[in-house]
Structure 1
Amino acid sequence: MTPFPPAKGTPMLIVSPHLDDAALSCGSILDRPGVEVLTVFAGRPAPAVAVTHDVLAGFPNSDAAMDARLAEDHEALDRFGVETHRLDLLDLAYASLPRTADDGDRLAAAVREWIAGHGDQEQFVLIPAGTGHMAGLPVAGEGEPGAASSAQRTRSFASALKSALGALGGRWVAHQVFLWKKSRGLAHRSFAHPDHLFVRDALLAPLLSGSAAHGSARVVLYEELPYLWSRAGDHGVAEAQARFGFSASEVALAVDRPAKARRIGLYASQLPQLDPRKRRLEKASTLPSHERFWSLTPRAAKP
């Protein structure tokens, strides 16, 4: 099998949950020939709504926020020649939870369409690893009958809090939950952004199935910034391994930090809320020097 990263010109699709994740997490490969970006949650609610995340970013409502965010994405990607595709699914800030199966089907169909458009060429599909998620932490409602463990109660409460506050503002809420847990010594039980986990889990099973619909597509997980600052991506990879069955080979790619800082600086409306205390996203010197990826091989397949 071709190692990752492949030769320049090899088709690669970065599946970016939000309108900045590709730039935040895949800067080392974003400008390679053959790379395209599919942003999943690029829709807007109708009618427009006012949620906390947008208000804190200075927008009166979701229409104004999405106008600005799409313009930022155009400046950061399209203007530099990166071919982009955008689905109109709704960000956690606007979505009703839980998400419907139709959302997952639409995402999987968009990836299948991209794969089909590249014929029999070897292709790579990059999806988020679920960085920040604690591998093996029990999920509410799972496990043996009887009284919930302390870990289950912690997870149940935090999950319920996220669901209850989801309409207030996506990643802002996720970050506030993390800060609450950190203040109580529970930061080691932090978990990934629900939108990232949704994208990962909706795509891993079909992409690893080896079905004809997914051709020769190879699957790569990427570690997400800024969530790696709360807990590294290894834990999300390990959890996904246990659930979906694959072996993973880690690759770390050096980053041109000044160039990456310039690009992510174009997402100016979002950066203050993604790292509000330390503001590490806004300086090249405080960005990670490498980005990490995991190239996957289904356990039934031979490398």
Structure 2
Amino acid sequence: MTNRLTNRVTNRLLFSPHADDVVLSCFGALTPGATVVTVLAGVPEDPDVVTDWDRRLGAGSSRLLALQRLDEDAAAFAGTGVRLVAWPYLDGQYRTGPPDRAALLSDVRAQVAGADEVWLPAGIYAHPDHVLVRDAGLAACTEARRAGLDVDVRLYAEYPYQLYQMDDFHKAREDRGPYDWTNRGPRALAEWFRAEFPTARENGEEPAEVLLTREGAEAKDAAVRSHASQLGLLDEMVHGVLMEPENIGREYWWSATELTRSGGHR
């Protein structure tokens, strides 16, 4: 199902676990007046600490890289009319203990209260940070609906994690060549959604497919390239196809409003 998103939503709110997730995954939803919350935008205090992932990115200090990512995030949205909010929660690689789920839920609940439409990461490939944000968002939206607020909820397929899911799906069926990392065909995502959200039947498991216009794809390309610190390694992990126009010009999402009516996804 191909879907072009309406621009008539009064208050569209998108949650991005990390600085680049929304830009990579649902750029088509970034209309002027939308608000993006980068949830895990906290900066480690110790300038001498460098995590394995950050070291692979070429960083000598995780603190300095986290500060750089804040600047990259701001640059990606400059001039778009999108309001960017950065929260101080730490990325999972920087935490020394479990996340403060209660505090996060409280902040998400307050942010959701004024929204007409909320976009959350779907949690493809079970990245713990993405699942953390998704579940807090679903819980807050469930509470909002029970309180009488009419909020629509969307789950966006995270790029490039969806490429991993698609690759696994097609390798198991031997119907694609090795490393044919293309963002076409939602069957793999439908199968994942059916397993992850077995009670969701509102629109079936097939995701809506958004095809960006050429101008939209070019704008997305520029915004994604603002996150320069991450691109080299992300591209390497998907065998050099991260920025292929056909890949970044195609996005997927599901309606999750039914999940918030039923009180959860399990």
CA distance in 2, matches of 1:299, 1:129: 12
Shift of 1:126: 0.6
Given the alignment, which residue of 104, 122, 125 partners 1:129?
A: 122
Residue 299 to residue 283, structure 1, CA distance change in 2 (3 Å): closer
Residue 224 to residue 111, structure 1, CA distance change in 2 (3 Å): same
Shift of 1:79: 4.1
CA distance in 1, matches of 2:129, 2:250: 24
Shift of 1:266: 1.0
Q: What are the within-5 Å matches in structure 2 for residues 2-13 of structure 1?
A: 5-13=5-13
Given the alignment, which residue of 142, 146, 154 partners 1:211?
A: 146
Q: Write the deviation string for residues 45-96 of structure 1: whole angstroms up to 9, x where unpaired.
A: 2223111222222221122101211111110014433101111111122123
Contact 1:261 1:283 survives alignment (8 Å): no
SS in structure 2 at match of 1:125: strand
CA distance in 1, matches of 2:95, 2:189: 25
Structure 2 residue 211 is matched with structure 1 residue 251: no
CA distance in 1, matches of 2:59, 2:153: 37
Structure 2 residue 12 is matched with structure 1 residue 36: no
Given the alignment, which residue of 227, 234, 258 partners 2:190?
A: 234
SS in structure 2 at match of 1:293: strand
Max Rg structure: 1
Q: What corresponds to 2:245 in structure 1?
A: 284
Residue 12 to residue 22, structure 1, CA distance change in 2 (3 Å): same
Contact 1:69 1:269 survives alignment (8 Å): yes
CA distance in 1, matches of 2:258, 2:160: 28
Q: What corresponds to 1:295 in structure 2?
A: 255
Aligned amino acid, residue 290 of structure 1: R
CA distance in 2, matches of 1:299, 1:15: 17
Q: What corresponds to 2:92 in structure 1?
A: 92
SS in structure 2 at match of 1:275: helix
Per the normalisation by structure 2, the TM-score is: 0.76
Aligned amino acid, residue 46 of structure 1: E
Aligned amino acid, residue 67 of structure 1: L
Q: Write the deviation string for residues 167-209 of structure 1: whole angstroms up to 9, x where unpaired.
A: xxxxxxxxxxxxxxxxxxxxxxxxx211111111222233234
Q: What are the within-5 Å matches in structure 2 for residues 144-293 of structure 1?
A: 192-209=126-143, 210-212=145-147, 215-231=149-165, 232-242=188-198, 245-249=199-203, 250-255=207-212, 256-277=216-237, 278-285=239-246, 287-293=247-253
Residue 131 to residue 248, structure 1, CA distance change in 2 (3 Å): farther
Contact 1:129 1:236 survives alignment (8 Å): no
Contact 1:260 1:284 survives alignment (8 Å): no
Per the normalisation by structure 1, the TM-score is: 0.68
Residue 267 to residue 288, structure 1, CA distance change in 2 (3 Å): closer
Q: What corresponds to 2:111 in structure 1?
A: 114
SS in structure 2 at match of 1:269: helix
CA distance in 2, matches of 1:51, 1:254: 36
Q: Write the deviation string for residues 190-246 of structure 1: whole angstroms up to 9, x where unpaired.
A: xx211111111222233234222x72221110001000111144355334423xx44
SS in structure 2 at match of 1:28: helix
SS in structure 2 at match of 1:65: helix
| Pairwise CA RMSD | 2.6
CA distance in 2, matches of 1:71, 1:33: 20
Aligned amino acid, residue 111 of structure 1: V
Contact 1:275 1:281 survives alignment (8 Å): yes
CA distance in 2, matches of 1:59, 1:21: 20
Gaps of 5+ in 2: 166-187
CA distance in 2, matches of 1:33, 1:74: 15
Contact 1:208 1:219 survives alignment (8 Å): no
SS in structure 1 at match of 2:15: strand
CA distance in 2, matches of 1:296, 1:247: 10
4+ residue segments displaced more than 4 Å: 299-302
Residue 299 to residue 111, structure 1, CA distance change in 2 (3 Å): closer
SS in structure 2 at match of 1:74: helix
SS in structure 2 at match of 1:14: strand
